Structure 1
Amino acid sequence: MKHVSLFILVAIAMVFAACDGRDRLHKTPQEILHESELLDSFSETISYVPETYAEVKTDTLLANGFHIKIRIYTDMERSVLDTTKTDSIISKTYYRDIKSQVIVFKEDQEIFNKTIDKSFFTDTFAHHEADLKRMTLQSAHVNQLPNAPSTETDAVQIAFYYVHISRDLKKQYQLQIQPNGEFDITNFEN
């Protein structure tokens, strides 16, 4: 019995001596994390801009009889991905697309009702499609100039500003809506 307990004690000592981590001595931390399947959780960060759903509503009455309702909201299904790598960490930022619902009334009669997104502008400016894929809407607002000639104030002007997610590129579009509901889009590149 004395020899059996001595044998068990030696066997236990050998088991603990074999588990001292010498096999990991010559491995990099990335290899060790990869073996234990923890590398993915430490090597990638994901963020969303904006993080949650956001919505802004504006309701504008103009002296020339126009009533403009603009609802700007986050498209939770579509986004633009920007990926950066620092050392062994990959940062992924998803910039969610922003859409706007524009409703225009003239003398209490609805003359325009459309959802404005990137495709609305690429229908007119097809050569902007590649740039707009990497852009997000920064703002949309009524842009009525008080000293404009009377022909321009007979229409509604709404400005849309798009910003590129990773470089200094901006696009500005102006939507001009006539009292009969017809519209025209112009582009001013910044």
Structure 2
Amino acid sequence: MTARPNRREEQRARTRQVLAEAALAAFLERGIDAVTVEEIAREAGVSPRTFFLHFGSKAAAIFPDHDTNIAWFRTGLAALPRDGDVVRDLCDLVVEGVRRQSESSFRQRRRRLVVTSPAVRDLDARTDRDYEEAAAEHLLGRWSDDATARLDARVLANVVIGVARAALDAWGHDGTDPVAATRSTLDRLLLPPLGTPTRLAVAG
């Protein structure tokens, strides 16, 4: 039986997206430092108090989809085959995540802010750490949990997510195809014969 839609949650999601669109448009036009929360709320047709019910800062307003995205990533990690190539499977999932990002005009416009605004770039880096932690946890779940494995897992997670971040930045900056850039760079860096060290290439 299909669950009935939760109207309150739907309205909350709509309000978050309207606020995000208003914030992004204003930031791109005038710069993040020149825009106030009051102006964003007014453009979205809500009060500043409502704004802060959804976001802790004005920069956070342009990341309304982070919880959904990280939930998608964790679900994808959990669904990867236990007997597969752990490195290749992780790379494939990250490429698919970049593909999802690239299908959104909102996300491309947001990347333009990421590469030009220190405040937005710092917040984007903090959200990326959630992906790095999830990827590292996944790798450790396939390997023995010792000091070397913990280091290897964190290094590999940082590299994979870092490649995706760099490709998305290039997309926002000059329109580079982020999916192709992520795929080709991960293949060069992490897959045999020139890539991943033997210790990382062996699933536990």
TM-score, scaled relative to structure 2: 0.27
> RCO greater where, 1 or 2, for CA within 8 Å and sep 6 or more?
2
TM-score, scaled relative to structure 1: 0.28
* Higher CA-based Rg: 1
Considering fraction of residues, name the structure with more helix. Answer: 2
Considering fraction of residues, name the structure with more strand. Answer: 1
